């Protein structure tokens, strides 16, 4: 179980969410605005933030991004279906997960459990594949001696591929895991793979360790990653 911060301007709904999470065994602190959230975060450590961004003066995604960047603190965003906070925008800002409000509380509690499991894994694991080093908790990537700056979606995509190294991950599976999308449009995936390859210096004809399997998906090849010569021109 974890210590959770619920940031929800609607006090009544926030109380319901806090009750549901507390019933699961979590310790929950509920606040109604971002200044109160900052005060709570400064006063005590949290394992996860549940953030309802509507009516938070447009600063919710910056807050989410800062939590991920400075602390590796996962945020689940719960947004109105017709609001400006769509899944791609929130996930690109660094959110760990995304749900529509109102939501099924059994799904919400399952998503919280999954996010806490991932956080626990990141706190104890790093990934090394040849010159590629990934710090899962801090979400930092190095290639050799170079720090490589990746956006949130680029990092999640690399993490998924590396954690399943040596096997092909279907495109639909990557869309669900990285962007929580059930769609079939792979353009976003292909563009993100392209950006990721370029930042890591793998934008030659071979594509480096990230191999494309036409009609299926992508695979991270650890043997190629370990080969000498890759990463010499990684973007920083």
pLDDT, tens only, 55-87: 776 788 999 988 887 777 899 999 988 888 888
Tell me if 149 is assigned to some domain: yes
Instruction: State what percent of residues in the chain have pLDDT above 70.
Output: 90
Residue 235 has pLDDT above 60, yes or no: no
Final residue of a domain: which of 64, 87, 122?
Answer: 122
What is the pLDDT averaged over residues 101-116?
A: 92
Average pLDDT rounded to a whole number, residues 2-27: 94
Say if pTM beats, i.e. exceeds, 0.85: no
Average of per-residue pLDDT values in the chain = 85
Per-residue pLDDT band at 125 (split at 50, 70, 90): low
Domain count, the chain: 2
Q: Note whether 153 and 203 are same-domain residues.
A: yes
Average pLDDT over residues 99-114: 92
Q: Cα 73 vs. chain centroid, distance in angstroms?
A: 10
What pLDDT score does 118 carry? 83
The answer on 110 and 23 residing in a single domain is yes
Q: Which residue has the tokens 């009544």?
A: 12
pLDDT surpassing 90 at residue 139: no
CA 235 to CA 173: how far, in whole Å?
27
- Does the residue 11 lie in any domain? yes
pLDDT, residue 230, reads 45
Instruction: Based on the fold, state whether residues 208 and 167 are members of the same structural domain.
Output: yes
Range of the domain at 97: 3-122
Span of 69-83, 150-164, 215-229 with lowest mean pLDDT: 215-229
The set of residues, in sequence order, having a beta carbon less than 8 Å from that of 177 and lying 6+ positions away, is: 156, 160
CB neighbour class for 39 (10 Å; exposed up to 12, middle 13-18, buried from 19) = exposed
- Report the CATH number that the domain containing residue 45 is assigned in CATH: 3.40.50.2300
Do 97 and 145 belong together in one domain? no
Judgement on whether residues 73 and 136 belong to the same structural domain of the protein = no
Helix/strand/coil for 99: strand
């Amino acid at each position: 179980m974890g210590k959770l911060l619920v940031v929800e301007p609607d006090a009544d709904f926030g109380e319901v969410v806090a009750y549901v999470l507390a019933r699961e065994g979590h310790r929950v602190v509920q606040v109604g605005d971002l200044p109160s959230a900052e005060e709570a975060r400064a006063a005590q450590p949290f394992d996860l933030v549940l953030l309802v961004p509507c009516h938070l003066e447009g600063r919710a995604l910056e807050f989410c991004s800062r939590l991920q960047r400075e602390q590796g603190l996962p945020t689940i965003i719960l947004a109105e279906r017709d609001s400006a906070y769509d899944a791609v925008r929130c996930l690109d800002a660094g959110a760990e997960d995304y749900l529509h409000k109102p939501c099924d509380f059994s799904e919400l509690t399952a998503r919280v459990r999954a996010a806490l499991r991932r956080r626990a894994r990141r706190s104890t694991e790093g990934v090394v594949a040849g010159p590629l080093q990934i710090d899962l908790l801090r979400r930092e990537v190095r290639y050799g001696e170079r720090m490589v700056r990746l956006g949130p979606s680029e990092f999640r995509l690399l993490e998924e591929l590396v954690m399943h190294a040596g096997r092909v991950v279907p495109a639909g599976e990557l869309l669900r895991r990285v962007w929580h999308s059930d769609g079939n449009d792979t353009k976003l995936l292909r563009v993100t793979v392209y950006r990721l390859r370029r930042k890591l210096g793998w934008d030659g004809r071979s594509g480096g360790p990230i191999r494309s399997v036409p009609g299926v998906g992508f695979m991270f090849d650890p043997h190629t990653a370990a080969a000498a010569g890759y990463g010499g021109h990684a973007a920083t």
